[in-house]
Amino acid sequence: MAEVTAQGTHHRAATRYALTYVGLMVLTITTFLFSRVDLGIGSVAIAMGIAITKSALVVLIFMQLWEHRGSPRLAFATALVWLALLMGFVLADVHTRFPLTNPDRNPIAAPALSAPSAEKTRAGQQSEP
Amino acid sequence: MHPEAIAESHFSSPEVQRHAARLGMWAFLATEILLFAGLFVGYMEYRSLYHESFVQGGKHLDAVLATIETAVLITGSFAVAMAHHYTLTDRNGRAAVGLLIGAATGIAFLALHGVEYVTHFREGALPGKYYTFPEIRTAGASMFFTVYFLLTGLHSLHVLAGTGVLVGLAVLAARGTFSHQNYSAVENGGLYWHLVDLIWIFLYPLLYLIS
Amino acid sequence: MNEFLRRVLFLPEQASSLARQVDQLHYFVIITTLVMSTAVGLTALFFFVRFRRRSATQTTRHLQPPVWVEALFIAVPLGFFLAWVYRGYHDFLLLTTPPSNSMDVYVMAKQWMWKFSYPDGPNSAGVLRVPANRPVRLLLTSRDVIHSFFVPAFRIKRDALPGRYTETWFEALEPGHYPVYCAEFCGTNHSNMLAEVVVMRPEEFDSWLVEQRRGRVAQQDGSQTPDEDLSALTNPVRQGEQLAVRYGCFKCHTVDGSPHIGPTWLDLYLRREALEGGGTVIADETYMTESMMDPLAKVVRGFNPVMPSFKGRLSGPEAAAIVEFIKSLRSEPLEQARSRRPVYEPIRR
Amino acid sequence: MSLSAAEAAPPTRNYLNAETTLRSWLLTTDHKRIGVMYLVMILISLFVGGMFALLLRFELLTPGPTYIDAITYNRFFTLHGIIMVWFFLIPSIPSVFGNFFLPIMLGARDVAFPRLNLASVYIYVIGAAFTLGAMIHGGADTGWTFYTPYSSTTATTVTPVLLGIFILGFSTILTGINFIVTVHTMRGPGQTWMRLPLFVWAIYGTSIIQVLATPVLGLTLLLLFVEHAFNFGLFDPARGGDPLLFQHLFWFYSHPAVYIMILPGMGVISETVSCFARKNILSYKAVAYSSLGIAFVGFFTWGHHMFVSGQSNFDSGAFGVLSMFVAIFTSIKVFTWVGTMYGGAITFKTPFAYICGFLFFLVFGGMTGIAVATISLDVHWHDTYFVVAHFHFIMVGAALMAFLAGLHYWFPKMFGRSYPEGWGLVAASLIILGFNATFIPQFLLGNMGMPRRYYNYPEKFQTLHVASSAGATLLFFGFLIIFIYLVLALKYGQPAGDNPWGSRGFEWNTSSPPLPHNFEKAPVFDREPHDYTTPVLEVSHAS
């Protein structure tokens, strides 16, 4: 762990922080402007991409993860892996469930069961999105 | 003038003690990330179940105000990073100023966010059974605002806690306790503040921008 | 052999088509478990006798096993476990994928009872009549909390989620009575929430079904608790409303939330009421029934105690019907994913 | 060697008599005193939780109501679960033996953050106070799993219980962080990762689980509190919520939590097997890495609690296969322990009796766990007494017996006196016998289809329930005997030397009870722990 002591290296740290700050502000404005333009699925990818770059800047520079190798990085990486693990399995479950176990997507409730004749007609019409 | 920081009796050297404090803080940050992980999972699940309501909900939220809040938090992060830099160069006065600016941005963020909450309360766009907002009527509309209030509520609590920490550190810095040997407290306070900013960096697009 | 092992392991009879197949894997797993744990126990005992300490200062060689021994420690158990889970998942898919020619039955779980209704025929509580040797698909739902439909004899179990549907299926082999339990904790009388699957010969079942449809059978089996949409006479909520009119409850209680002589019934169920003279109470079934019989016991703050007692005038079921009516008065939020009526979901093969 | 009025232990200075004011105990930052305080608190929790277990077993003697009504029974099994899981099993070995022996085994003077260590004690006390308050007020009746929507709509006092466990979660997180940093930064000279005692590896693995799993529990309880109080509808299907999301979040914590309970027990057994077989552990790397293996792979398997809950078939299959991988780490450890006895010099002392019990119950309990994770069998067994018997085999049979093995193995080191060997063996056999009599019938009850958490049950299950209740009383007397002779041994026990078992574990280098700062001069680690190739210096007069 290089202990930052010499005055010179400090000076560079200050400018590095300033540059990161400017970078973050620029990215914030760009992501806001991109959101005004509707690009469909692309807008989600761009927004997420910019968010990841911004968070990488904050973590590596502001939180000095760039200098402190070893166990701090391990702790941060494990937390992200566990986040992905939990999200992956829960979303996989939600998307592959018996369709009727998921909440009702279309606002109109399915017609009530009462008259026998309704049984046949509904069989065709019940299409799951 | 700055006392050579003697390592606490049971550490082998001051450097090991700082490394221990840093590792302990990063382990604590891992728990914070996993605390929000549960809520992000809830957001992703209900977004995939109620896509329509989440899109309309996202549009209804005020993206301009959110952008200002993001800028405020980033400025706070920058100020705290500079404060950490100043403690490394034994300039406690400037460090105190940096920390105070950080705390001020925290309060500003909470104020702006309070404005948002007030508009939602007035409109009736509230979670669960309190949801009486007429414009969005698709299935799961109240679920968007449930997830919105839980995510931003928990985050605001963390901003409040972070502001308290920064004010405490500013008072200590003003008294000149920190030095290039003894800066672990400012570093850990800064790490916590940057993490709070990190979580908002992901909240901001997920809630306000994606359509 | 199968019968012997089933009896030794206290397993209930194998009354469904898949029960025997599931039990075969059960025997294999349990026998390996017994063999493994006794082997470990005996080896430890043998080592203890063989290598007991002979002198207080005895030293031992530093043993390091060859790598293949450690690899064996990993490979052999892993082989067993993966074989089990492969066979287990194969059986599980059979257990949860109903054949396309199965007959549908809707199962509605309610706090502490099971109600069954056939798509185009009768419904009943506590007794599920099915034909033998014909697959039956159950579409499970619940009206309040999570319950779990468990028939030990068929080796099937599936949770019933409130407002959602889950499915399971079985094919009974021979006629008989098989108990049904609720396996997911659901409150005070979780242990009384029993039901029974009555398996009949196919032709007997068909004639029973026809009679049910024509409604000619004078006495329906089990207590007749109709679905919400049937005529007023048999619908507790509608019955409760008419009783409230007859006993003049609406002279003091409103149903739309507006203030009146007595507390409004809108959203009253499970609301925390502040009482006259301090303390609060949650307006659940017990409080409402008690207030009908002895209104002055717990008067809500801000209302004067003028309500007459209905003890002796209101019978038990009538009071329960009025409580059902009060419970149904919930302010409809603008958007609510109400628990839908049973719907037909084509069976994926 | 019966209890004789031993002469007073020579008054050498140690951590117990260095300062004896109450204030010195309450404000101590000495990891040994904190370990002793935790020992007292968790023994009280064990006693209270055990009482609830007995009350439940007596109620189940007859099918109908025996002496309490349904709602009280539901509250009793909820509190039995909560107290045993969170207040006894999770803190038991890490907070007591971890706190006491981790710094000594590393050659350190104290843990990395001593003040944080004391804070976690007081957070435990506050959490216990909230739950005690809820208990007196009537306590929740939802079971320790708090499944929604029952837990969010029941009128019983769920909130203080949630708050109590939420606060307790912080105590576990702080202990976890403390131990991770201690192992990383405070190892003594020459103490490489491959020379760490296996107990330290097990505590390190457990701390990783504590740090990574407990926050998700904190969030789940927070969301449940919000749902119970304000009905936001996150888990309420009527408002579009998904009850299965609660189960996913809850089991994402609770399955790794069962490894928090068993992993430290495995660490204790690794130490005690080496000592009483007087032989180095068979394959050190395999056992050390399987501790980490359990810690990491333990997080991939939570879905096997939800096979019948409406979870998708794909997820059920994935979780079933992954559950098998976490099982091989346990089997590596078991084969290594039994292999360690080969070529050893075994003496049969009380800890060794507990080791034998532990081995049999871990293998039998673990294999029934794999049986339950075999997806098609779980459909029949889920939420029946088979599952109850399985996890009691692991929690009581394995984890509690490992705790007792550790308590007897380290009692001389912690208090300077040795317990009566004869009574120890009597109590051990009573416990092993009582345990079998209690839980073997429950396996058969599960096979018959007797569901869990049933207040009254059909007639045909009664004989097995009576057998199980009889076993439970036997178990209770076993624990009572232990409690009595250990408390008496504190005062009247033979003064034990610095190394009564002749063990080559590093913690036996200090005096017993140890000095306030463990060592005069920091020990140098030049060999593997438990290396018995050279004769032990001090002949143990105990054997």
Structure tokens at D192: 């490489």
SS3 per residue for D194-232: HHCCHHHHHHHHHHHHHHHHHHHHHHHHHHHHHHHHHCC
- Based on the fold, state whether residues C128 and C160 are members of the same structural domain: yes
pLDDT in tens, D113-158: 999 999 999 999 999 999 988 888 877 889 999 998 899 888 888 8
Q: Kindly state whether D204 is in contact with chain A, defined as any CB-CB distance less than 8 angstroms.
A: no
Please give the mean pLDDT across all residues of chain B. 90
Q: What is the value of pTM for the model shown?
A: 0.86
Return the SS3 of C114: strand
Please give the mean pLDDT across all residues of chain D. 90
Q: Which of the pair, D426 or D510, is modelled with greater confidence?
A: D426
Burial of C70-100, coded b for 16+ CB within 10 Å and e otherwise, reads beebbeebeebbeebbebbbebbebbbebee
Write out chain D residues lying below 8 Å of B31, CB-based. 173, 211-212, 214-215
Which stretches within D393-420 are classed as H helix?
A: 401-415
Write out chain D residues lying below 8 Å of C169, CB-based. none
In whole angstroms, what separates CA D56 from the centre of its chain? 21
Cα(A60)–Cα(D369) distance, integer angstroms: 43
Residue C216 has pLDDT above 60, yes or no: no
Q: Rg (Cα) of chain C, in Å, rounded? A: 29
Complete DSSP assignment for B151-177: HHHHHHHHHHHHHHHHHHHHHHHHTT-
Question: Does A104 contact C337 at a Cβ distance shorter than 8 Å?
Answer: yes
pLDDT in tens, C77-116: 999 999 999 999 999 999 999 998 888 899 999 988 999 9
- The count of CB pairs under 8 A between chains A and D is 47
Residue A116 has pLDDT above 80, yes or no: no
Residue D542 has pLDDT above 60, yes or no: no
Kindly state the average pLDDT of the residues D311-321.
Answer: 94
pLDDT in tens, D428-449: 999 999 999 999 999 999 999 9
- Based on the fold, state whether residues C109 and C208 are members of the same structural domain: yes
Kindly state the average pLDDT of the residues D475-485.
Answer: 94
Residue B171 has pLDDT above 90, yes or no: yes
Q: Kindly state whether A100 is in contact with chain C, defined as any CB-CB distance less than 8 angstroms.
A: yes
Residue B9 lies in a domain: no
Angle at D48 between CA D47 and CA D52, to 5 degrees: 115
Q: Which of the pair, C252 or A72, is modelled with greater confidence?
A: A72
CA distances from D4 to B190, D414, D494, D543 (A): 60, 20, 8, 17
Residue B95 lies in a domain: yes
Structure tokens at C245: 């009119």
- Based on the fold, state whether residues C209 and C287 are members of the same structural domain: no
CB A89 within 8 A of CB D248: yes
Question: Does C335 contact A111 at a Cβ distance shorter than 8 Å?
Answer: no
CB-based contacts of D254, cutoff 8 Å, min separation 6: D145, D217, D302, D305
Residue C245 lies in a domain: yes
pLDDT of residue A10: 59
Residue B3 lies in a domain: no
Kindly state the average pLDDT of the residues A58-69.
Answer: 90
Element (H or E) spanning D115, and its range?
A: helix D114-137
pLDDT level of residue D183 (50, 70, 90 thresholds): very high
- Based on the fold, state whether residues C114 and C205 are members of the same structural domain: yes
Q: Rg (Cα) of chain B, in Å, rounded? A: 20
Residue D400 has pLDDT above 60, yes or no: yes
Closest CA to C340 of B60, B161, A113, D526: A113
- Based on the fold, state whether residues C133 and C155 are members of the same structural domain: yes
Kindly state the average pLDDT of the residues D525-535.
Answer: 81
Residue B8 lies in a domain: no
Kindly state the average pLDDT of the residues A45-51.
Answer: 93
- Based on the fold, state whether residues C85 and C170 are members of the same structural domain: no
Residue D399 has pLDDT above 60, yes or no: yes
Q: What is the CATH number of the domain that holds B146?
A: 1.20.120.80
pLDDT level of residue C344 (50, 70, 90 thresholds): low
Residue D315 has pLDDT above 80, yes or no: yes
Written as one letter, the residue type at D380 is: H
pLDDT level of residue C65 (50, 70, 90 thresholds): confident
Question: Does C338 contact A109 at a Cβ distance shorter than 8 Å?
Answer: yes
What does DSSP say about strands C123-125 and C113-117: parallel, antiparallel, or unpaired? antiparallel
CB C130 within 8 A of CB C205: yes
Give the range among A12-21, C48-57, C321-330 with minimum mean pLDDT.
C321-330
- How close, in Å, is residue C344 to chain D by CA atoms? 18
B-interface mutation test, from A19, A33, A38, A58, most B Cβ less than 10 A away: A58
Closest CA to D185 of B17, C325, A106, B139: B17
Residue B112 lies in a domain: yes
The answer to whether the bond into D441 is cis (omega within 30° of 0) is: no
CB D486 within 8 A of CB D410: no
pLDDT of residue B9: 62
Structural domains in chain D, CATH included, are 35-509 (1.20.210.10)
Cα(A26)–Cα(A21) distance, integer angstroms: 9
Q: Which of the pair, A124 or D497, is modelled with greater confidence?
A: D497
Residue D417 backbone dihedrals phi, psi, to 5 degrees: -130, 155
Kindly state the average pLDDT of the residues D246-259.
Answer: 95
Residue that the structure tokens 């010099």 belong to? D345
Q: Which of the pair, B4 or D510, is modelled with greater confidence?
A: D510
Complete DSSP assignment for C169-193: EE-B-S-EEEEEEE-S--STTGGG-
Residue B10 lies in a domain: no
- ipTM here: 0.87
Residue D460 has pLDDT above 70, yes or no: yes
pLDDT level of residue C309 (50, 70, 90 thresholds): confident
Domain boundary among C214, C243, C278: C214
pLDDT of residue B14: 86
Closest CA to D375 of D282, D313, D461, D419: D313
Overall domain count for chain C: 3
Write out chain C residues lying below 8 Å of B139, CB-based. 335, 337
Kindly state the average pLDDT of the residues C28-54.
Answer: 89
CB D265 within 8 A of CB C52: no
pLDDT of residue D1: 38
Give the range among A114-128, C282-296, D167-181 with minimum mean pLDDT.
A114-128
CB D431 within 8 A of CB D357: yes
What does DSSP say about strands C136-142 and C103-110: parallel, antiparallel, or unpaired? parallel
CB-based contacts of D308, cutoff 8 Å, min separation 6: C148, C157, C158, C159, C183, D378, D379, D382, D383
pLDDT of residue B45: 93
Residue D518 backbone dihedrals phi, psi, to 5 degrees: 70, -55
Q: For residue B187, how many C-alpha atoms fall within 13 Å in the half-sphere facing its CB?
A: 21
Residue B179 lies in a domain: yes
Write out chain A residues lying below 8 Å of B47, CB-based. none
Kindly state the average pLDDT of the residues C132-144.
Answer: 92
Provide the chain D residues 302-321 that lie in CB contact (below 8 A) with chain A.
303, 310-315, 318-319
Give the range among A27-31, C170-174, C224-228, D423-427 with minimum mean pLDDT.
C224-228
Cα(D160)–Cα(D150) distance, integer angstroms: 17
Angle at D56 between CA D55 and CA D61, to 5 degrees: 100
Burial (Cβ within 10 Å: 0-12, 13-18, ≥19) of residue D82:
buried
Residue that the structure tokens 């624990």 belong to? D479
Q: For residue C348, how many C-alpha atoms fall within 13 Å in the half-sphere facing its CB?
A: 12
- Based on the fold, state whether residues C112 and C43 are members of the same structural domain: no
Cα(C257)–Cα(C266) distance, integer angstroms: 5
Give the range among C13-22, D9-18, D279-288 with minimum mean pLDDT.
D9-18
Sheet with C136-142, edge to edge strand ranges: C123-125, C113-117, C103-110, C136-142, C166-170
Residue D299 has pLDDT above 80, yes or no: yes
Residue C343 lies in a domain: no
- The count of CB pairs under 8 A between chains C and D is 288
CA distances from C94 to C6, C88, C281, D313, D516 (A): 21, 10, 49, 11, 64
Residue C203 lies in a domain: yes
pLDDT of residue D209: 96
Burial of C7-22, coded b for 16+ CB within 10 Å and e otherwise, reads eebbbbebbbbbbebb
pLDDT of residue C163: 85
Closest CA to D331 of B30, C73, C202: C73
End-to-end CA distance of chain C: 34
Structural domain boundaries enclosing C71: 2-49+67-96
Question: Does B49 contact A102 at a Cβ distance shorter than 8 Å?
Answer: yes
Structural domain boundaries enclosing B83: 16-209
Write out chain C residues lying below 8 Å of D324, CB-based. 78, 81-82, 84-85
The DSSP code for C280 is E
Structure tokens at D397: 């049979």
pLDDT of residue D128: 94
Residue that the structure tokens 């529990």 belong to? D217
Residue C136 lies in a domain: yes
What does DSSP say about strands C195-200 and C127-131: parallel, antiparallel, or unpaired? parallel
Residue that the structure tokens 């606060």 belong to? D167
Give the range among B9-13, C211-215, C222-226 with minimum mean pLDDT.
C222-226
Q: Least CB-CB distance to D215: which of B31, B41, B127? A: B31
End-to-end CA distance of chain D: 10
Q: C273 pairs with which residues across the strands?
A: C281
Return the SS3 of C157: strand
- Based on the fold, state whether residues C127 and C86 are members of the same structural domain: no
- How close, in Å, is residue B13 to chain D by CA atoms? 10
Write out chain B residues lying below 8 Å of D244, CB-based. none
Write out chain D residues lying below 8 Å of B32, CB-based. 215
A-interface mutation test, from B12, B13, B16, B26, most A Cβ less than 10 A away: B26
pLDDT in tens, B75-87: 999 999 999 999 9
- Based on the fold, state whether residues C238 and C324 are members of the same structural domain: yes
Structure tokens at C116: 């069954």
Residue C15 lies in a domain: yes
Q: What is the CATH number of the domain that holds C320?
A: 1.10.760.10
pLDDT in tens, B141-156: 888 999 999 999 999 9
CB D445 within 8 A of CB D384: yes
Cα(D457)–Cα(D67) distance, integer angstroms: 15
Overall domain count for chain B: 1
Q: Which residues of D touch B (CB under 8 A)?
A: 108-110, 112-114, 116, 173, 176-178, 180-181, 184-186, 211-212, 214-216, 218-220, 222-223, 226, 230-234, 236, 239-242, 245, 248-249
pLDDT level of residue C60 (50, 70, 90 thresholds): confident
Q: Least CB-CB distance to D312: which of A78, A85, A97? A: A97
The DSSP code for D493 is S
CB-based contacts of C107, cutoff 8 Å, min separation 6: C114, C115, C116, C128, C138, C139, C140, C141, C149, C160
CB C234 within 8 A of CB C217: no
- Based on the fold, state whether residues C114 and C143 are members of the same structural domain: yes
Residue C57 has pLDDT above 90, yes or no: no
- Based on the fold, state whether residues C128 and C149 are members of the same structural domain: yes
- Based on the fold, state whether residues C202 and C288 are members of the same structural domain: no
Please give the mean pLDDT across all residues of chain C. 82
Residue C125 lies in a domain: yes
Residue B6 lies in a domain: no
pLDDT of residue B159: 97
- How close, in Å, is residue B129 to chain C by CA atoms? 7
